[in-house]
Structure 1
Amino acid sequence: MALFAVLSGLSACGLPRSGPTKGEIRAGSVEEQGDTFIVPVTAQVARATAMVPPLGFTNGFLGAGVIGSDVIRPGDVLGLTIWENVDNGLLAGPGMNSTALQEMQVDGDGFIFVPYAGRIQAAGNTPEALRRIITEKLDAQTPDPQVTVARIAGDGATVSVMGGVGGQGVYPIERPTRTLSAMLAKAGGVIIEPEIAQIVVTRGHHTGRVWLKDLYSNPQFDVALRPGDVILVEKDQRNFTAIGATGAQNRVHFETQELSAIEAIAQVGGLSTNAADPTGVFVLRDEDPATANTVLGRTDLIGPQRVAYVLDLTEPSGLFNARDFMIRDGDTVYVTEAPYTRWQKLLGALTGAAGSANSLSKAAGN
C-alpha cells in the first residue's frame, strides 16, 4: 500500500508524457458531459466517413465553349516579317530583302501601324486575314511582297501560367492551346509529382481546382480557356498532425490523393514500439453534421461536431478498419501511451529518487 501511495503521488505530480490517456480523452466525451463524441471505428463507420471532398470545376468552367482563339484582340502583340522581291526595298536595309517588325501591340481601338501600309485594323481579323490585308496595302508600292503575321504574348487573348511547370509565363491562346491541358504542355508540362499535383484555374472572381491525374483521365475537366485566365500548378496543400507515441510528431503533408489511417501512421514512422498503445489510436476531427448524424445514428446535430474516432489495432479487424478509414485535411492523429509505459516512468522516477536519497545519506555519513 505504501508503494502504491508513493507511485500515485508521483503520478499526480505530473511525470513527462506525450499527451492525455485514453481515460482522460473519454472524460471529455458527450456521455461525461463533455463536447466530444467518442466513436469506435468499425467497418460501417469507415464506409460512412470514407468520402474525400472531390475537386473539379463548376458549370461556369465546364460549360464554356472553345473560343475562336485565332481572332486578334486589342492588347495582342503581333510579330510581322515582310519580304520584298527587290534589292533596295521600301523597308529592308541595304543587302537585305526582309524586315522584321516585332512586338507590335494592337491598340485599344484595335489598330496597328505598318510603314507604307498605314494604320490597319487588326482586331477582329485572324492572323491570316491580316496578312492578306497588309500584303494588298504594300503590293502597290513594292513588287510581290510576302508577309507573315504571328501572335505572341501580350495583353490580349493570353493566360498566365505559374507554379510547378517547366516554363512560367504569359502565353497567347492560339489554335493549339485553346484548352487547359494543351496550355500546360505549351508551358513545359507539369514538373510536380503527378500523384499530388493540382491545377487551379482562376477566372475573374471564380476559381476551379482539379487533380492533374483527373484532368488527363476525365476529358470534361480539360476546360476551354478564356483571356485573362490564371493557371497555377501546385502541390497538394492538405496535411494532418501526428502527435503522441508515434515515430515522429509533426504536421505532415499528404503524399497521395487518398490517405488511410494506417498509411498516415506509416508515413510518420509507425507506432513507437516501446511506448504506443495500439488500442488507443485516435483521429480527432471537426466532422460535418451530415456525416456526424450518420455515424452517431442521429438527425438533430447541426454544424460541425467534435468527434474522436478510436482505432483498436489489436482487434481481429482492427488493421482492416484502419486501412479503410480515410484521413482528411486538418485531422489530428494521436496515439496514446501504453499503461505499462506510464508505470515504467513512475518506477523509474521512484528508483531514481531512492538512489538520490541513498547518495545523499552516504554523503551525510561521511
Structure 2
Amino acid sequence: MKKTTSHILRGALVLSVAFGLASCGLPRSGPSKKEIYQGSVLREGDAFIVSVNPRVTQATAVTPALGFSESFLNAGVVGSDVIRPGDTLGLTIWENVDDGLLSGSEGAATSLSEVQVDGDGFIFVPYAGRIKAAGNTPEAIRRIITNKLEEQTPDPQVEVRRQAGDGASVSVMGSVGSQGLQPIERPNRRLSSMLARAGGITIEPEIAQITVVRGGQQGQVWFQDIFDDQRLDIALRNGDTILVEQDTRTFTALGATGQQTRVPFESQTISAIEAIAQVGGLQTGSADPTGVFVFRNEPAEIANAVLGRGDLVGDQRMVYVLNLTEPTGMFEARDFAIRDQDTLYVTEAPFVRWNKTISALLGGLNSANSIAGAASGLGG
C-alpha cells in the first residue's frame, strides 16, 4: 500500500512539473513567426504583413532625396577680384617728383596699408577724394585713383590690392581637416575646391553629406555626388556656410543574428542581405531563414502602392517578410532596400524552441524524480 502511494506521489510531482513547464515561457530572442503573424490586421493586430516580391521591392525603393535647388545650381561663379563693402584694401602710390602730394621729402612711395571699404562701398584716398570701390576690381580702382591724382601730380603710379583674408568668404564646419572662415579666391570658387582648401573631409566619403546654407535657403548633397554630377559642384557666395557631417541613418538588428544592436548605414543605400551581413549574418545554430522580417512605419502613399489600395491615411505599420529558402529568396533580399529606423528581425527555427522545451522538460523531470525519490524515502 505504501509503495502504491509512493508511485502516485511521484507521478503527481512529474505531472506538476510538466504542466508547469508548459505554462511558463522559455528563454528566446523574441517572438515566433506565429506570434508575428498573429499581429496581422487579418487576425488580432494592426500591422500589414507582406511577402517581399519584385513589385513590393520597387514600391518601397525610396532613398533620401538630396540635392540643390535651381537657385543654387544656376548661381554663376563669383569674380574673386570684385571688391565688396567691408573689404580692406592696401594702396601704394608712387609719385614722379621729389616732393609729392603724399610722399613728401622722405621718398617717392606712399603706402596706405588698411583702407576700409565702408558700408556704402566707398573708400577715401587723400587728394583723390571719395571713390566707389564696391563692385569694382582692384584694377578698376587703380585706374580711378590714377586719373584723380594725375591732375595734381605728374605720372602717378598706383597699386591696389585686397588684403589677405578679406573679401568674399564662407564658413566651413564639421568633419573637415580645418574648420573656420575661408576666403573665396580664384582657385576655390566652387564647393569641391573649397572643401579641398579646408583640408578635405575626415569621414568616409560614402556616408558624407554636404549641407550649404545660403541666406534663408539650404541644400544638401552626398559628397560623392559632387563628382558624379558637375552641376552639384555649385559656385559659392559670400556668407555661405558649408557643413560636412556623417549620415545619421540607422537600423536595428534583433533576433537570431550575429549581433543584436543599432547599426549605422555604411553606404547611401543598403539592402536586406547587406544588412544581415553587416551584423554577422544569421546564427547558423538557431536562425530560421524562412522568418526574416523587416518592421517599418510606412507613409500612406507607399503603403497604398504596396497593398494595391488607395484608402489608407497616415503612417501604416508594415511587416515585410523575406524567405531566404525560396528559389528567388536571396535575390529578393539583395534587392529589398533597408531604410532609416527599420527593425530587422530574424526568428528562431522551430526545432530550436522544441529543443529548449525538451531540455527544460527533461531537466524538470529529473528534478521531479529527485523530489519524488526524497518523498518516497520519507514515506518509507
Conserved 8 A contact 1:79-1:152:
no
2:159 equivalent in structure 1: 147
Q: 1:238 aligns with which of 249, 255, 258?
A: 249
Partner secondary structure for residue 234 of structure 1: strand
1:224-276 CA-to-partner distances (Å, cap 9, x unmatched) read: 32222211111222111111111111111111111000000100111122221
> Is 2:288 aligned against 1:277?
yes
CA distance change for structure 1 residues 161 and 119 in 2, over 3 Å: closer, same or farther?
same
Alignment of 1:196-345 (within 5 A): 196-345=207-356
Q: 1:126 aligns with which of 118, 129, 137?
A: 137
Partner secondary structure for residue 262 of structure 2: strand
1:19 equivalent in structure 2: 30
Cα drift, residue 99 of structure 1: 5.4
CA distance change for structure 1 residues 120 and 235 in 2, over 3 Å: closer, same or farther?
same
Q: 2:118 aligns with which of 100, 107, 126?
A: 107
Cα drift, residue 108 of structure 1: 1.8
Partner secondary structure for residue 318 of structure 2: strand
2:194 equivalent in structure 1: 183
Separation in 2 of the partners of 1:5 and 1:362? 15
Opposite residue 287 of structure 2, the aligned amino acid is A
Partner secondary structure for residue 31 of structure 1: coil
CA distance change for structure 1 residues 279 and 84 in 2, over 3 Å: closer, same or farther?
same
Conserved 8 A contact 2:78-2:237:
yes
Point out the more displaced range, 60-69 or 318-327. 60-69
Cα drift, residue 348 of structure 1: 3.4
1:184-207 CA-to-partner distances (Å, cap 9, x unmatched) read: 233233332221111111122322
Cα drift, residue 337 of structure 1: 1.6
Q: 1:72 aligns with which of 69, 78, 83?
A: 83
> Is 2:47 aligned against 1:36?
yes
1:311-331 CA-to-partner distances (Å, cap 9, x unmatched) read: 111111111110010111111
Cα drift, residue 100 of structure 1: 7.9
Cα drift, residue 181 of structure 1: 2.3
Separation in 2 of the partners of 1:12 and 1:131? 94
CA distance change for structure 1 residues 250 and 296 in 2, over 3 Å: closer, same or farther?
same
Separation in 2 of the partners of 1:216 and 1:224? 14
RMSD: 3.7
Point out the more displaced range, 54-63 or 354-363. 354-363
Point out the more displaced range, 309-318 or 193-202. 193-202
Conserved 8 A contact 1:196-1:257:
yes
Opposite residue 70 of structure 1, the aligned amino acid is D
> Is 2:99 aligned against 1:82?
no
1:153-189 CA-to-partner distances (Å, cap 9, x unmatched) read: 45x6322111222322222333443332232233233
Separation in 2 of the partners of 1:7 and 1:99? 101
Conserved 8 A contact 2:26-2:357:
yes
1:53 equivalent in structure 2: 64
Conserved 8 A contact 1:7-1:347:
no
Identical aligned residues as a percent: 60
Opposite residue 355 of structure 2, the aligned amino acid is Q
CA distance change for structure 1 residues 340 and 120 in 2, over 3 Å: closer, same or farther?
same
Opposite residue 80 of structure 1, the aligned amino acid is G
Gapped runs of 5+ residues in structure 2? 1-11
Conserved 8 A contact 1:284-1:309:
yes
Separation in 1 of the partners of 2:279 and 2:99? 75
Cα drift, residue 81 of structure 1: 6.1
Separation in 2 of the partners of 1:264 and 1:91? 75
Conserved 8 A contact 2:272-2:338:
yes
Separation in 1 of the partners of 2:103 and 2:249? 59
Separation in 2 of the partners of 1:5 and 1:44? 52
> Is 2:175 aligned against 1:161?
no
Separation in 2 of the partners of 1:29 and 1:285? 14
Separation in 2 of the partners of 1:341 and 1:161? 55
When normalised by structure 2's length, the TM-score is: 0.81
Separation in 1 of the partners of 2:366 and 2:142? 96
Partner secondary structure for residue 270 of structure 2: coil
Gapped runs of 5+ residues in structure 1? none
Separation in 1 of the partners of 2:319 and 2:225? 32
Conserved 8 A contact 2:169-2:182:
yes
1:68-118 CA-to-partner distances (Å, cap 9, x unmatched) read: 443222123x352637689999689x99x895826x543322234567876
Separation in 1 of the partners of 2:129 and 2:148? 8
When normalised by structure 1's length, the TM-score is: 0.84
